[in-house]
Structure 1
Amino acid sequence: MNNPFRSPTVTSFLANLDLGRLRSLSRRGEIALALAGALIGVTSGCAVTAMSFISRHLHSLIFGLEDTDRLSSVEVGNKLLLLVAPIAGGFLLGLMLLFLSKTRKKPMVDPIEANALHGGRLSLTDSILVAVQNLVSNGFGASVGLEAGYTQLAAGIASKIGLSLQFRRADLRVLVGCGAAGAIAAAFSAPLTGAFYAFELIIGSYSILTLTPVVVSALVSTIIARLLSGENFVIDVGSFGSVVGADYLPALLLGAFCAIIGILLMQAVSFVEQLSRRSSIAPTYRPMLGGVVVGLLALISPQILSAGHGALHLNLSHEVAIPALLGLFLLKSVASAVSIGSGFRGGLFFASLFMGALLGKIFAYSTPYFDHATLTPVIYAVVGMSSLAVAVIGGPLTMTFLALEITGDFPITALVLAAVITSSLVVRSTFGYSFATWRFHLRGESIRSAHDVGWIRNLTVERLMRADVRTADVNMRLSQFRHDFPLGSTQRVILVGDQGQYRGIVLLPDVYASPVEKGDDDHGLGEFIRWRDDFLLPQMNAKQAAGLFDSAESEALAVVNNHGERKVIGLLTESHTLRRYSEELDRRRREVTGEL
């Protein structure tokens, strides 16, 4: 029986609508990318709100706080909890690490590494596991923030959406940036901060094509988070008059000072990690021992617990003496380094903001030595907060917009911009890494940013080489060689030993250009063998191969299986390598500019 409410046109449309068409539509044009960014903004806002809700309730449940209290700004009545909770969290996290070590062998990838090496491909399962570990670490009081979990989970969801709709590599990287932008925007109620966090740290570049989806995601995520939680991260700088020219010198000095402290902080975290690895303590027990240290420090000052939101506002709104500020800074820096270095999951985003604010207030006591300076301690705290964060996390514009959005004051933002540029310049000139890229460096990776270098690594010698190569025995006589390889049959012949080992290359023009005396054609090929120790390995990328062609001054090189056996498996020419490298480079350029 025909359905009177379904016309033939509607029936035909539904019959022709399939998942493939939907995927094709989703990958077509900037509008589709913007719509995907909006969807990711919704999921990011929900993910951040959910993680924040769980963290606050864990604090209330474990430490007996009120729902409106912040762990780092209240006095916990039961002091034993301050010691036991981080240890219990470390024990629980250690069990999780033990389970994961037996079930998941591949290392977990974060959004920066995913965009730099894997074309935006992130495991959603791994991202959820990272978020859960971050919640356990933060919820039990370890001195880490939730921003790492926020960005990991939101970016993992974004990558899953992009993979499901079969987005292209460049678009998938943008979607991962949208997820991270939405996460940071929702965490701080700061859409510009979230957007530039994505541009500077996750995507690695800014273009007109990426502007719309990233900003849409950040705006939508901020709106969703405000609707669900109603919280804003705002700092009241009070009334101070106006910024004058004399205020820039102390701000620049504060930026340079924060850069030095940021470098020391990153190295302290690495020192604790290396100390943990070199010890005989199993990875399962390291978080628990780290929890012991954090718990002991919390007995001195509970302000070092968790991310430090409450402690930040507490120290900004009260007058605190220099010894107390210095003591709290040292305690927080040690607690953060021990927490991350011992295996607790989290990052230094908010910890660097908190410690930078403390440094700014400490620096404010030197203002009488600067003539005509007018800034208040709270403004120095904002400058220090952004300067230390840019030294550790990176992203000068990200931290500048954060200062703008949390203070709402443009003159202060200009001052912050000068300070963060100074801090960034000092770090890049003397150290060269942010916290994330420094950890990649310690693992042996050469990643300096989220710029897409994965395609270069995927363009390997094994993919470029020819496997059908002409070979000959290295002991072959010249007469036999001339018989087997007449002039014009090939350009070059690879010589191999008895077991197929690479021994060099002979160029046919060299052989036939040499004058032949009577009896000379019974000699060997020794005088014609070239590039005996110059060869390529299959795992080398095109850039490395091009460097070897240049150093060997050869138009072609043999490819061997490894350094030990040196069995010939192929041949690669310089012209083909450079042509394919140029084609891929042009393809990436067209993807960025939207020409594909």
Structure 2
Amino acid sequence: MVTENQSLPVQDRLVLVPTALRALVRRSEIWLVLLACIIGALSGVLVAAMTAVAQFLHQVLFGISATEHLSGVDSLPNKWFVVVPAVGGLLLMAVTWAYRRYRSNTPVDPIEANALHGGKMSLIDSFYIALQTMISNGFGASVGMEAGYTQVGSGTGSAIGEAFRLRRSDLRLLVGCGAAGAIGAAFAAPLAGAFYAFELILGTYTIAALAPIGLAAITGVVVNSLLVEPAHTISVTSPIGLGQSAVTTLLLLGLITAGVGIAIMRGVTAVEDLFKLSKIPVWLRPAVGGLAIGMLALITPRILSSGHGALSLVLDDSMPTLRALLILLVLKAAASAISLGSGFRGGLFFASLFLGAIVGKAYVAIVALIDPALAPDPQIAAIVGMTGLAVAIIGAPLTMAFLALETTNDLPLTIAVLCTAVVTSVAVRKTFGYSFATWRFHLRGEAIRSAHDVGWMFDLTVRRLMRHDVRTIHDAISIRQFRQEFSLGSTQRVIVVDDQERYVGIVLVADVHSPTLQDDKKTIQELLRYKDLALLPWMNIKEAAQKFDESESEALAVIDGNATRKVVGLLTEAHTLRRYTEELEKARKDLAGDR
């Protein structure tokens, strides 16, 4: 006898949840909020564990102390350490090979999961991504850990949500809770974590989502703070003045960070293309990229890993020279592009903060050469620059503004940061149109611009919408025979096929019965419409609607393929639009929190 839990898919059986408890969570918002807190707490634990593993690898592989950051050391203790990233690349490919022997599916990230899959993520795949991220960062690749944090946090939320068999909207919400807890824990910034979930993982802000997302971010921060030292807090020693010249100067910095962000995103793609053109085997590319990173580390180890230690040095009161800043900017950007382009796993979240701080201080040095009176405070410009570049690459202006507020505790500075973030966001959207995540989706051919739930469009296919009981006639039939078989008013249209049962067009009954049509001995071939327009079963509802717009037809035939052209059904525009409207209304209710 098969029990209820035994009949569930494997991932649902990871956590066995009694029926009564599932019902409580599905019916009550309070229980859903409690579940969100649990997910936030688990995210905080996972972030602490991943951070500890990466730091341990830095200590063992590069010989640094437990109190040091890898990117904060002045030089590598031994020149042989330059091969460590290459070894990490080989280990990464070995792990990838072993994993793919048992799993053939491609892991999805939280944005893709919420946009296309209704929040469904594989917990096993998420831990695999986390392992790849720890290896990449731990062996010195110039990537951040934040992508791994959000992946494993969101994957945990999705797995728990599926175990409770939650609705599609609630499952997507728990994915956001996992990400909020992870980012909040990583930066000790619950507001930034919450709005990261709203802007990037859910794609929208709603009152109904505030309690679970906000509390998940808070519990993530609290639990993480009990396990590790609190994140670095930036102390702003110079008061900011919001005069016209200061605001104008900082807004110009926002435009510059937009351009730098676009250049970095295109740079990663360019490096990937170069590796493809080089004919280097895929399994060897991370090792080659790692060797290049190691060689750059001989110039300065500031380019290694996420950049936490290097960021602290850049934000220090001591002002580096313009030449040193520009060299570090180029080397760190190149190292990040090489790391991701060669196949290391990670993200650009913290790298964008670090690079933005460099851009801010370099900007001050350049302005000071032109007119010292116009140069803003270097520390303030660094914070504005790091926020602007992060907005350009990550695409979350409110998240970055709240991150500045929570790390500096300076409200006037946050106002300046928010203004700059808006300028940067608009500039990138108008000139480039993508954040780093959505740019990667675009390169893969996915039409995803945000985490808005569009998966139902892909699930709602022509095959599910069409009528199957469709009568056809042959194109050799005469107009007289047609009139005898189909009287005026019996039906609106008839699908026509040739002698090999292939689709050739549609005949409108009203056309055949037109009084102006005198010669009824002719065949109906002269009255055929939409000869080259037909739907395919696997088209989604959006593609079907576009076909109706192109043809200006009220109904189209559905054929099994362009080669065989066998008629398998009929779909009307009215039914398509009605189902589309129903799904939009359902999505609207989900956003409004109607349970």
Range into which the TM-score falls when normalised by the shorter chain: over 0.9
Matched, 1:181 2:184: no
Q: Deviations over 1:460-493 (max 9, x none)?
A: 1111001110101111233433343344443221
Q: Per-residue displacement from partner, 1:182-222 (whole Å, max 9, x unpaired)?
A: 11100000000001111111100001011111000000100
Q: Tell me the distance in 2 between the aligned counterparts of 1:348 and 1:311.
A: 15
Contact 2:548 2:573 in 1 (8 A): yes
Given that 2:322 and 2:366 are in contact with CA atoms closer than 8 Å, whether structure 1 keeps it comes out as: no
Deviations 1:122-181 (A, max 9, x none): 111111110000000000000001000000000000000111111111111111111111
CA RMSD of aligned residues (A): 1.8
Q: CA deviation at 1:539?
A: 1.9
Offset from partner CA, 1:333-368 (integer Å, 9 cap, x none) = 000000000000000000000000011111122454
Q: Decide whether aligned partners of structure 1 residues 525 and 464 sit closer, same or farther in structure 2, where only a CA change above 3 A counts.
A: same
Shift of 1:275: 1.9
SS of match in other structure, 2:279: coil
Partner residue, 2:386: 385
The alpha carbon displacement at 1:20 in A equals: 1.8
CA spacing shift, 1:434–1:238, aligned 2, 3 Å: same
Pairwise mapping of residues 535-574 of structure 1 onto structure 2 (< 5 A)?
A: 535-574=534-573
Q: Is residue 331 of structure 2 the alignment partner of residue 352 of structure 1?
A: no
CA contact (8 A) 1:115 1:121 kept: yes
**TM-score, normalization: structure 1?**
0.94
Q: Deviations over 1:504-562 (max 9, x none)?
A: 01122222234675xx4432112221111111111222222222222212111001122
| Partner residue in 1 for 2:455 | 454
**Residue of structure 1 in register with 2:257 after alignment:** 258
Tell me if 1:45 matches 2:44. Answer: yes
Matched, 1:365 2:365: yes
Structure 1 counterpart of 2:360, which letter?
Answer: G
Question: Residue in 1 aligned with 2:150?
Answer: 151
| Corresponding letter in the other structure for 1:389 | A
Q: Give runs of ≥4 in structure 1 deviating > 6 Å.
A: none
2:84 corresponding residue in structure 1: 85
Q: Distance in 1 between matches of 2:488 and 2:248?
A: 75
Counting only pairs closer than 5 Å after superposition, residues 188-587 of structure 1 correspond to structure 2 as 188-240=187-239, 242-317=241-316, 318-368=318-368, 369=370, 375-514=376-515, 520-587=519-586
2:12 aligned residue: none
CA 1:195–1:81: 2 relative to 1, 3 Å = farther
The offset of 1:101, in angstroms, is 4.1
Task: Point out the more displaced range, 431-440 or 496-505.
Answer: 496-505
2:220 and 2:585 mapped to 1: Cα distance? Answer: 34
Residue 26 in 1 paired to residue 5 in 2? no
| Distance in 2 between residues matched to 1:500 and 1:279, nearest whole Å | 50
Contact 1:71-1:310 at 8 Å conserved across structures: yes
- The CA distance in 1 between the partners of 2:417 and 2:594, in whole Å, is 37
2:72 touches 2:302 (CA, 8 Å); kept in 1? yes
Q: Distance in 1 between matches of 2:440 and 2:517?
A: 62
CA distance in 2, matches of 1:367, 1:282: 46
Q: Does 1:109 align with 2:108?
A: yes
Equivalent position SS for 2:261: helix
Q: Calculate percent identity across the aligned residue pairs.
A: 52
Output the TM-score relative to the length of structure 2.
Answer: 0.94
AA partner of residue 438 (structure 1): W
- In the other structure, the counterpart of 1:66 is 65
Unaligned regions of 5+ residues in structure 2, if any? 1-15
Instruction: Give the structure 2 partner of residue 3 of structure 1.
Output: none
Q: Which amino acid aligns with 1:201?
A: L
SS in 2 for 1:506: strand
Amino acid at match of 2:472: T
Q: Deviations over 1:297-340 (max 9, x none)?
A: 01111110000000110122133111111111111000000000
- Please report how far the alpha carbon of residue 243 of structure 1 lies from its aligned counterpart in structure 2 after TM superposition: 4.1
> Deviation per CA, 1:13-61, whole angstroms, max 9, x where unpaired?
xxxx982221111012321221121011111100100000111111111
Mean Cα deviation higher: 553-562 or 491-500: 491-500
Partner-residue secondary structure (3-state), 1:285? helix
* C-alpha contact (below 8 Å) 2:238/2:377 kept by paired residues: no
For the residue of structure 2 that corresponds to 1:85, the secondary structure is helix
**2:492, 2:510 within 8 Å by CA — same for their partners in 1?**
yes
CA gap of 1:357–1:542, structure 2 versus 1, over 3 A, is same
Tell me the amino acid that sits aligned with residue 495 of structure 2: I
Judge conservation of contact 1:558–1:571 (CA < 8 Å) in 2.
yes
Contact (CA 8 Å) 2:240, 2:412: kept in 1 or not? no
**Counterpart amino acid of 1:482?**
R
Q: Is the 8 A contact 2:236 2:380 kept in 1?
A: yes
Tell whether the 8 Å contact from 2:497 to 2:503 is kept in structure 1 after alignment.
Answer: yes
Tell me if structure 1 keeps the 8 A contact 2:240–2:413: no
* 1:192–1:218 CA contact under 8 A, matched in 2: yes
Give the conservation status (yes or no) of the 8 Å contact 1:76–1:82.
Answer: no
Answer yes or no: is the 8 Å Cα contact 2:364–2:375 preserved in 1: no
Alignment partner, residue 5 of structure 2:
none
CA distance in 1, matches of 2:17, 2:384: 54
Q: CA deviation at 1:246?
A: 2.7
- CA deviation after TM superposition for structure 1 residue 264, in Å: 0.3
Equivalent residue of 1:27, what SS? helix
- Contact 2:240-2:380 within 8 A present in 1 as well: no
